[in-house]
Structure 1
Amino acid sequence: MKNKLLLFLLFFSFLANKVNANNFEQTSNNSKINLQLAVSLMDTIKKTNKTLKSAKSTAIIPTPLTTAGSACKEEADLTVKVFMAASGGSGDIIEWFSSQTSNTILHTGSIYSPSVSQTTTYYVRTHAGADFSNRVPVVASVYSYPPAVTLKAFPNDAVICEGTPIEFTASGGGDFFEFSVDGIVKQGMSANRIFTTNALKKGQIVSVRTRYGVNFDGLATETAYGKGALEDNVLSAPLSLNALGGYINSIKISPTEDKLVFGIAGKLDNNRSMLLFLDTKPGGFNLSNYGDEANIIPSVKGFNYFNNNPSTFDSYFQADYCLAISTDNGGTNYFADIIELKTGNSTKTRLGNASTGFPSSVMGVNNGNSGIGDYNLGFEVEVLKSLIGYTVGDIKFFTLTMQDDSELNYNVTNSFLSPELSSSLDYGSSAMDYNVKDPNPVVVSADALIPCYKEASILINLDEKPTTATVGADQYNCSLSSTSLNGNSPTVGSGKWTLKSGPGLVNFSNVISGVSTASVDVEGIYVFTWSISNGVCPPSTADIKVEFHVPLLTPTASNQTVCASLPIQTLTAMASAQAGETVVWYDAATGGNVVS
């Protein structure tokens, strides 16, 4: 507009001077002066625009150190507060914005805690005097709690004996359930709502926790991805011609206990790649001068080409790994790989491959993305946290798309996250310094890598199993009283003696003592039972057999004297015994032989 105004003034001045024919020379001089003024002003405008553009894209002072934020939100709540932090040099002012281009400062200070309804990316910079840093995209992630979960047990008796199989059923909750006993996982996270065990001990607590999950169908709309994308291309420039065949619109993350599921909205046609560089730990590459991935067919061409002319990442980003998604020449099969960046050969791990409608166990594809406003259709890939070197802290990602026909015909398109804001031209294959370019690595909170859970617990009233009963050896007694029956002393429960069988009555010296003795009124064979019981549990029993006999009396007899009349005498001896007893004669007081 300013340029048009200057041209109009120049034309008007020239016309006025032309009308004044009597002073042509003066008119000519005035026209020259006005023309010089116009040219001078045009140069000033160009220089000013160039200076403003340079100031917008060049980091005059270092970018702030940042900590992203994340929060779990109840479905009924409209908003939730998310805490983020940033710090700069001594005396630096920290300023927060809603976008890369906004001039409205949302907040000034190191801690920013907006109340948000969905995941929102904010942009923070340091400000010292007239100098500013580049803006760093920092994500305030919002995830949803699943509905409340309850836990019921069967049988549901008031008291249950240890060792009884108990079935626990979770009601409500999300998509997946994990069961633990006293904090130790017994049944890992799965869609199974039922957990059965017979190993519970008295006082142990059974717990369930539940979360949302993802289906690998290439449609990143599940609640598990949270409310909104971690970053999107809302302010991006129009796509370049090459980017029309391979672009990225947004990234979402669904965390699990030990994995991350990346939901990436976008599209890849023939010979296109999507490179998601990850900064997950200290150290790494600030330049794309890593080694090619090892020769595992098929190779990830885009990854290998990107380091031909090493580009410089933003100063706060050091790449450790790359999640690469690529497609074949026909644009029908898609491959996902994790590549660890190394100075020698980088190391590739194949995650899986898939095509639209044919997911694998870790990857789903839907290549029907409708354009740059479609934040749902694209790619879903599951990655072990350990496979990208993640342990603690925030992570950063820098994502781009590439045309990778061949090493002689490849280029980085203008489709990035965060987006290219102004240029609809490809970035090409030359080395780039991304410190002075619009796309910036995005910072995601460590808390966003932990699922939002709901939990429930239950304490079952259990009786311990009684101590196993034991008794002494069977006995044979020449009396109507036994020795100690040698029942064991219980540590759990209490014991008691009972008569199981026998011809008479019994009297125990101490019916609740294992070392009790038994007396009977009639001789014979008896069986006694030592029972140890505790609460509702079946008692433990052991039997002992004891034979009782009335003691034998010494027979009575008297000596006899006879006169010897013949060589062989017949003696008639008399001895008495009790009923049922017999008398046996011997020819000696001890030992000797039986005589008849």
Structure 2
Amino acid sequence: MSGATVTYTTAVRNNGPNNVVGATYEFNFPANLTNVTVTPALTSGIAVVTGGTTTATQYSATLSMNNAAVVTFTITGTISSFPTGGTLSVSSAVMRPQDVTDPDATNPDAAVPTDPQSECDALPSGVGCNNIKTDATTVSQTPTTSVAGPAQTLCAATSTTLAANTPAVGTGAWSQVSGPGTAVISNISSPTSTVTGLVTGTYVFRWTISNGSCTPSTSDVSITVQAALGANTITAPATTTFCGSGDPA
């Protein structure tokens, strides 16, 4: 969801057999991943990372690595806005320096390698290679704030209609929190569901709006059912005297 922090970890290994000087590492990300920080760390062997720079959509650095050395990059960023289609797509890539031939990723037509994808897709390696890794993270929008509707006071009623808000993002569901008995919610997904089976007392119903892995939004509404007056008889005095002002004497 927007405002959430996401962390990626990628490991780069020189499979040898030779040492390499001046390979390029790239981490590509969309513009709605902001405040991106990248921390390289030597995991094993001998390696040096230099020239790390970050733009609005890419981090790049130069790697010099001995055979079998491993460098791990930890990338952290903030999702500043909901990505198109709900998917946050990133990629990591390693590209050979000009004077090195990578048996898994070398474009013989490029005297100076500039594009990791074309290096990977060139013959004889064919389409794809281990030098590029991608990740697609599903991002859920924050659900609409729940509004369960106004409290209700009913007289001797056995049913009523709830009045919650319709979510623009997410789906809603009713549940009973408390009450003198178990009421029947005719459609738990409808913000204006009918509730039946009410008896005298106070009920509390909860409207929960959920969306994906985001924290749900909840709010409660109370429904109070009062007993009817019944067949009681009120008897007035036989004689009532009023003063001239109209007030009782």
Q: What TM-score, normalized to structure 2?
A: 0.54
CA contact (8 A) 1:508 1:516 kept: yes
Corresponding position of 2:90: 206
1:471 and 1:486 in contact (8 A); partners too: yes
1:470 counterpart letter in structure 2: V
Q: Is the 8 A contact 1:181 1:207 kept in 2?
A: no
Rg comparison, structure with higher value = 1
Task: Determine the structure 2 residue equivalent to 1:467.
Answer: 144
Is 1:189 equivalent to 2:60 in the alignment? yes
Q: 1:451 is matched by which residue type in structure 2? A: T
Q: Confirm whether residue 531 of structure 1 aligns to residue 208 of structure 2.
A: yes
Determine if the alignment matches structure 1 residue 499 to structure 2 residue 176: yes
| Structure 2 counterpart of 1:227 | 99
Q: Aligned partners of 2:191, 2:111: CA distance in 1, in Å?
A: 62
Match of 1:166 in 2: 6
Structure 1 position 522, deviation (Å): 3.1
CA contact (8 A) 1:180 1:208 kept: no
Shift of 1:515: 1.1
Q: Which residue of 1 aligns with 2:114?
A: 451
* Count of aligned residue pairs for this structure pair: 179
Matched, 1:178 2:27: yes
What corresponds to 1:433 in structure 2? Answer: none
SS at structure 2 position matched to 1:547: strand
| Closer/same/farther in 2, CA of residues 499 and 164 from structure 1, 3 Å limit | same
Q: Which runs of 5+ in 1 are unaligned?
A: 1-160, 213-222, 229-446, 562-570, 572-585
1:500 CA displacement:
0.9
CA shift, 1:168, in A, is 1.2
> 1:512 and 1:210, CA in 2 relative to 1: closer, same or farther beyond 3 A?
same
Q: Secondary structure at the match of 1:460?
A: strand
Q: Is the 8 A contact 1:179 1:207 kept in 2?
A: yes
Question: 2-side partners of 1:475 and 1:486: how far apart?
Answer: 10
Following superposition, the deviation at residue 530 of structure 1 comes to 0.6
Matched-pair contact (CA < 8 Å) for 1:162–1:537: no
C-alpha distance in structure 2 between counterparts of 1:593 and 1:543, whole Å: 46
Aligned letter for 2:90? V
* Residue 548 of structure 1: aligned partner: 225
Identity of aligned residues (%): 27
| Aligned residues: CA RMSD | 4.1
- Aligned structure 1 segments of 4 or more residues deviating by more than 6 angstroms: 447-450, 558-561, 592-595
CA-CA distance at 1:169 after TM superposition: 1.6
User: TM-score with structure 1 length normalisation?
Assistant: 0.25
The AA in structure 1 aligned to 2:30 is V
Q: Distance in 1 between matches of 2:214 and 2:231?
A: 53
Please give the per-residue CA displacement for 1:179-219, whole angstroms capped at 9, x wherever unaligned. 3128984453247822223526422311234457xxxxxxx
Cα 1:194–1:507 change in 2 (3 A) is: same
Query: 2: distance between equivalents of 1:179 and 1:533?
Result: 31
Structure (1 or 2) with the greater strand fraction: 2
The 8 Å contact of residues 501 and 527 in structure 1, kept in 2 or not, is answered as yes
Q: Which amino acid aligns with 2:7?
A: E
CA distance in 1, matches of 2:32, 2:173: 39
Q: C-alpha separation between the residues in 2 aligned to 1:547 and 1:526?
A: 6
Higher relative contact order (CA 8 A, sep 6+): 2
Segments of 5+ residues of structure 2 without an aligned counterpart are 14-22, 34-55, 63-71, 101-109, 117-130
Alpha-carbon offset, residue 514 of structure 1: 0.3
